[in-house]
Structure formats: structure tokens, C-alpha cells
Structure 1
Amino acid sequence: MSGLRERNKQEKLRRIQQAAWHLFMQQGFEATTTRQVAALAQVGSGTLFLYAKDKQDLLLLAYNEMLEETIEQAFRLLPPEGNVLDTLVCLFQSFFRLYQQHPENARVYVQVVALQAQAQRYREQALQQIERFGQQLAELLTQFQHKGALAPDVSVEQASKNFFALYFAILCQWLSGQLSFEEAQGAALRQAFALQLRGMEPQGEKR
């Protein structure tokens, strides 16, 4: 019986996540209401609030799931023979493409994850997701290090954090209107990563 209850619970969560994502993409964060999400998910408003305490929680729930899929696909589709710069740019461009679907929603999501003081139910999940991505990125950088593309004394854990910080800064510049989408996910990302990589090259290759 407990197994059936858990399956029902997960099924309701899935419907709520999908309904929230659909409405946020269709109407935007501001125009979407929790009542609309509950109706589309075919659950009562009281039931909805057992899974998400407010609309920001619903946005986190929706984006966390989509980001999980984006990360899995991004690593799976990386070019097998790409150099380190092209590989990193390709990887992080996946996030830009996801956020481009609705920049208003992305702006709210990033603000809540990065700056929200009050505890949202799914904010910790988002932060853990970033941490796992950082670990995967460090593993990818280790592969390039073993191929001689990065100096042996480079800390791949710190390098992973540096690349994510550069990406996040450029993402915020785009979401705040300082850069166009094409500039952000193109030249700005590539130039920032290239400059970072110059300090990580093996000694004989530094220019």
C-alpha cells in the first residue's frame, strides 16, 4: 500500500511540474496563477500546496526538472573529438538555449536561486544540481588534463567553479539586457573561456 501511495504522489508531482512548465512557457511567470496550475494538473489547490508553497516554488520545480534533462543531454551530445574551448562553449550554450525559451521566467528563476533569502522548497534542490554539474564538469576537465590540454598542476575542481562563474556572469548580463542573446552565448562566452584557459595551458604551450 505504501508503494502505491508513493507512486500516486510521484504521479501528482509529475503532473504539477508539467502543468507549471506549460503555463509558465505559455503565459509567463507573472500571468500564471497557482489556481491555473492546479486545474491543469487536475489536483485541488490544497493538494498543490502540499507540493509547492507558492508560485516561485512551482517555477523552481519546473526549471529543476528541465535543467536535469538539459544537463544529461548536453554531456551526452558533446563532440567526441572537440578541443577544450569548443567543448566548454558547446556545453554551456545548452543552458542559454533553455533560458532563451522564456527570458522573463529565466530571470525570475536565476534571481530566486542566486539571491532569494527565504527558503524555497526546491531551492536547495537547485543548488545541489549546480554542485553535481560542477562535479561532472570537473570530470570532463580531468579527461582533457590527461590528454595534455590542461597543465597537470591545474585544480580541475577550482577550474570547474571558475568556468561556471564566468558563464553565470555572462548569463546575468544577457538577462539584464547588457548583452544580446547572440553576443552572450557566442563571442562573450568564448572570449571569457579562452582567456581563462590561457592560464591553464601546459607550460610549453603558453603564449
Structure 2
Amino acid sequence: MTLASPPPGRRERNKQAKLDRITAAASVLFAEHGVDEVTTQQIADAADIGTGTLFLYVRSKGELLLLVQNAHYARALEQGTADAETEGDVLDAVMALLRPIVACNRVQVDNGRTYLREMVFGDLAEPQRAAALEIVARTEAALAALLTRHAAVPEADAATLAHVISAVMFLAMSASAEPEPEQLLTQIHNQVRVLLAR
């Protein structure tokens, strides 16, 4: 018999409530103005906390962007994984998985590009960066599963090919200032089609 863990205490609930307010305030402000145009003071004011309290939860605006975008990316991955299940063709399934991720990245182009930069070049000790890389790993695992199931690609090759497809998507999103996801998806589709035609 396993013992259920006790419910969080008042202190933990208060901390989580503050973090939720910070995340919600940053999400709204970043979406409206872009990460570069928002100050930490504006975020603290919108979250109804002091700036010092904000820095107890996040060390930088980059970390805060990672926190916000990670939540969006995780939801997009869930949606893409579900969408891919309805596709019978491997290329269609891959694109169904990637489509919500690309759309999520294009909601605010500068935020999306800054997020990718923070993910790749951010502080190695940063917990939100580690969380972002974990979502990338989940994306690649989902891609590998599709490749194995739909195209009978051996597991070792599927993991490598999934990594390449992921790199294609991230490079396309980081290199383009194009706000429309459909143009990026066309570029990604054409490259993935060639990869899968091997």
C-alpha cells in the first residue's frame, strides 16, 4: 500500500499562487508588447507583488519568458501529438505534430525567437531552460514514435531522424521573422519530405 503525500501547506499554496500570478501577468504583457518592451517592474505591478519578490521566483526576464513559453509549448505538443494520431501518412502525421508548435512560436514572433535563443544559449543551470530542453526531448520522442509506427523506421534511426526533424523546425523558426506559420510550415514540410524520402 502506498501512502498518499500530504496536501501542500499554506506556504506552498501561497508560493504557487504568486508564481501563477507572475506567469499570467508576464504572459499577457509579453503577448501584447513583446518581451523586449516589457520591464520586470511592469510584470511585478501586474502580478501585484514587489520587484524583489519577482526575483525570488525568476532571476531574469529571459527565465520568465522560458517559464511562460514552456507552458505554451507543452500545450502545443499535446495538441500536435493528438492531431498526429488521426493521420495515416507519415509526412502528414509529422506535420500534424509540428503544426501547433510552429503556430505557438509565431503568436508573437520576437518572443518566439527570443525563447529559442534562451533555450539554446541560456544559462546551463537555469531550471526553466532545462524544462524547455525536456519538452524538446518529448517532441523528439513523439516524432520518433511516429516514424517507427508509420514508416517502420528502426528505433535507433527514428531517434536520429526525429532529432534532425526537430532541428529543421527550430532552425526555420529562429531564422525567420515571418509571422505567418503557414509559410514556415511549407518550408519545414519540403525539408521533411526530402528527409523521409531517403
Name the TM-score, length of structure 2 as normaliser.
0.86
Cα contact 1:74–1:94 (8 A) shared by 2: yes
Query: Percent sequence identity over matched residues?
Result: 32
Counterparts of 2:137 and 2:65 in 1: how far apart (Å)?
20
Question: Which is further off, 157-166 or 108-117?
Answer: 108-117
The answer to whether the 8 Å contact 1:53/1:121 transfers is no
Q: Structure 1 residue 2: deviation in Å?
A: 5.6
Matches within 5 A, 1:122-133: 122-133=128-139
What is the CA-CA distance between 1:118 and the residue it aligns to?
Answer: 6.5
Distance across 2 between alignment mates of 1:16 and 1:98:
20
Change (3 A) 1:12 1:153: closer
Aligned to 2:173: 171
- Structure 2 counterpart of 1:88, one-letter code: V
Counterpart code for 1:193: V
Q: Distance in 2 between matches of 1:96 and 1:156?
A: 21
Match of 2:28 among 16, 22, 30: 22
Relative to 1, partners in 2 of residues 1:160 and 1:42: Cα closer, same or farther, differing over 3 Å?
same
| CA spacing shift, 1:27–1:180, aligned 2, 3 Å | closer
Shift of 1:151: 4.3
Counterpart contact for 2:105–2:173, Cα < 8 Å: no
In structure 2, the residue matched to 1:67 is 73
- Residue 79 of structure 1 and its aligned partner are, at CA, apart by 5.1
The RMSD of aligned alpha carbons is 2.3
TM-fit CA distance, 1:3: 2.2
Distance (Å, rounded) in 2 between the aligned partners of 1:53 and 1:117? 11
Shift >4 Å, 4+ stretches: 151-154
- Is structure 2 residue 91 aligned with structure 1 residue 85? yes
Q: 1:152 to 1:112 in 2, by over 3 A?
A: closer
CA contact (8 A) 1:52 1:121 kept: no
The match for 1:9 is 15
Query: What is the aligned counterpart of 1:35 among 35, 41, 46?
Result: 41
* AA matched with 1:139: A
Structure 2 residue identity aligned to 1:190: H
Q: Could you say what secondary structure the match of 2:149 adopts?
A: helix
Matched letter for residue 10 of structure 2? L
| Of 152, 160, 167, the match for 1:150 | 152
Quote how far apart the aligned CAs of 1:116 are. 3.0
What code does the residue aligned with 1:40 have? A
Number of aligned pairs?
192
- CA–CA separation in structure 2 for the residues paired with 1:12 and 1:113: 24
Q: Does 1:52 align with 2:51?
A: no
Partner of 2:184: 184
2:84–2:92 Cα contact (<8 Å) kept: no
Structure 2 gaps, min length 5: 1-6
Are the aligned partners of 1:170 and 1:184 in contact in 2 as well (CA < 8 Å)?
yes
- Unpaired segments ≥5 residues, structure 1: 200-207
- The amino acid that maps onto 2:193 is A
Tell me the SS of whatever aligns to 2:134.
helix
Query: How much does 1:81 deviate?
Result: 3.6
Amino acid at match of 2:194: L
Partner Cα separation in structure 2 for residue 90 and residue 52 of structure 1: 34
1:121 Cα shift? 4.0
Letter in 2 for 1:62: V
When structure 1 is superposed on structure 2, of 13-22 and 90-99 the one drifting more is 90-99
